[in-house]
Structure 1
């Protein structure tokens, strides 16, 4: 079916086949030149098409019953925090779409990895659950940072995944001190126990009732990157709904899946 939609380049056919066999169904999207039969509305006028086979049993059944490929855009407003539950979709698109099918929370939390295949390399256009290390087993891997003038895949704009509340990246909550009367939420990576003054902080006033953070969400108590990825957008949404002045997020390690989490946080904090 891929060849009905995409014009497979001769130089990458074997590599594309290996990638598809390994990562489909799953959170991996391949961008390829499209065939003329693909409507422009599906590809936003681009001459390429992004293809993926979902591993979710509910969506797989929908595609099976429909019997044809489906164009499936993101279920959130442009540039905003990605949804990970049906309730998130309802909050974003209530009265804008006719139907929401609740298949439970997303498994990975992050959107799929998006890649395109060159002659002897794989270009990652958007980092995701399938990491550069996994892809490097098949070919050389490049991380492509596109400019805002030439966007080849979703999630490449400098500002994306952004909550309405201003978000800032920090190395550690230990070294962060809010301004007076500022209500700050913390998206934590480091163990909460490291922050002796997390809940009862002195702002130089001697008032131990003064809270350093109005709300805290720990991405993963065990510091597990997969758990952190699964929680990222849900916790961002929760903090965004609390009427805070600022959200600060601790940086996660940049290895493996951490690179994809950092990518989302950096774009969400872009102003």
Structure 2
């Protein structure tokens, strides 16, 4: 299969690219599309045969559910049965954060195929704010299932080139809208009725933070993030987002003891020698997530790109510095812990 990349930076090219993507989706094919988080591999969420191609292309296990992306926020009622006791907060969250990088886990309607939800009674739902994805979804006028456009368990792609490097020859089309805005996947939440305020459980940290959500309920971070057998939401397997090169999250520079004859690359937060990592060894390669002051939003945007680049240097092991866990730093640390988990 010849995998084509269509650019969307010029008006005519944009119109043509959207039309070709919609035609393929209508034919039951998969298409790689940009989102504000990472690039996604999209298919008709209500067509079980089309969704099966996502699992085949990604080599994704059938027990790992997918996120359903809506053409419009009002389409939520088409795929989810929202319980009355949480309906008010769901509406407020959708009004505030959709379209955007917030995914809600809700009871599914019968029209959503079991392959999308891995047989579970709930569906993960959001609406993307990316202009290209949004236009494709609204023109197609059906919900799209769209996990990250990479082989299962590997580094999520934040550019069209990264998608092609992963899935060249496996998919017919990639739409290119430049680098992803946020660089890490959406925040996933589950809402439980409670008094006086509903409980909002963060299943997977992402660009929408605890501080963003706290005015809508009591925010709880899911502590036991290891869901190995049948995860309730995407991205919760212990080992995920991993480069081919083994990665170790080094909580303290004092813990580093280099092995003779072994080469190392460094994923640095700020690139500051005062943090204690830069001079630990003669690094084969170094990538800095946010040079200088260390901005967590910038670190999140650069995370997967930096991991891909370090994967190319040929080191025996990648050493990753920790980042602060406030705000989107929580999402960065979640991805690093999973990338460093035993495979």
Q: Same fold (TM over 0.5)?
A: yes
Aligned to 1:88: 162
Aligned to 2:228: 148
- Residues in 2 aligned to 1:149 and 1:216: alpha-carbon distance in whole angstroms: 35
- Residues in 2 aligned to 1:137 and 1:73: alpha-carbon distance in whole angstroms: 29
Partner residue of 2:213 out of 132, 135, 146: 135
Partner residue of 1:192 out of 259, 263, 272: 272
Partner residue of 2:327 out of 221, 239, 256: 256
Aligned to 1:67: 141
Aligned to 1:18: 92
- Residues in 2 aligned to 1:236 and 1:197: alpha-carbon distance in whole angstroms: 17
- Residues in 2 aligned to 1:22 and 1:216: alpha-carbon distance in whole angstroms: 39
Distance 1:244-1:133 versus aligned 2 partners, 3 A rule:
same
Distance 1:116-1:176 versus aligned 2 partners, 3 A rule:
same
Aligned to 2:21: none
Aligned to 1:34: 108
- Structure 1, unmatched stretches of 5+, are 202-210
Q: TM-score, normalised by structure 2?
A: 0.72
Cα displacement (A) at 1:180:
2.2
Cα displacement (A) at 1:229:
0.2
Cα displacement (A) at 1:170:
1.3
Q: TM-score, normalised by structure 1?
A: 0.91
SS at match of 2:145: coil
Cα displacement (A) at 1:182:
1.7
- Residues in 2 aligned to 1:56 and 1:175: alpha-carbon distance in whole angstroms: 41
Number of residue-to-residue matches in the alignment: 261
SS at match of 1:11: coil
- Residues in 2 aligned to 1:195 and 1:15: alpha-carbon distance in whole angstroms: 42
- Residues in 1 aligned to 2:285 and 2:340: alpha-carbon distance in whole angstroms: 18
Tell me if structure 1 keeps the 8 A contact 2:102–2:188.
yes
Q: Deviations over 1:169-199 (max 9, x none)?
A: 1135576342223210000014334379946
- Residues in 2 aligned to 1:151 and 1:42: alpha-carbon distance in whole angstroms: 13
Distance 1:4-1:194 versus aligned 2 partners, 3 A rule:
same
Cα displacement (A) at 1:42:
2.2
CA RMSD in angstroms comes to: 1.8
- Residues in 1 aligned to 2:336 and 2:299: alpha-carbon distance in whole angstroms: 12
SS at match of 1:30: strand
- Residues in 1 aligned to 2:221 and 2:185: alpha-carbon distance in whole angstroms: 16
Aligned to 1:76: 150
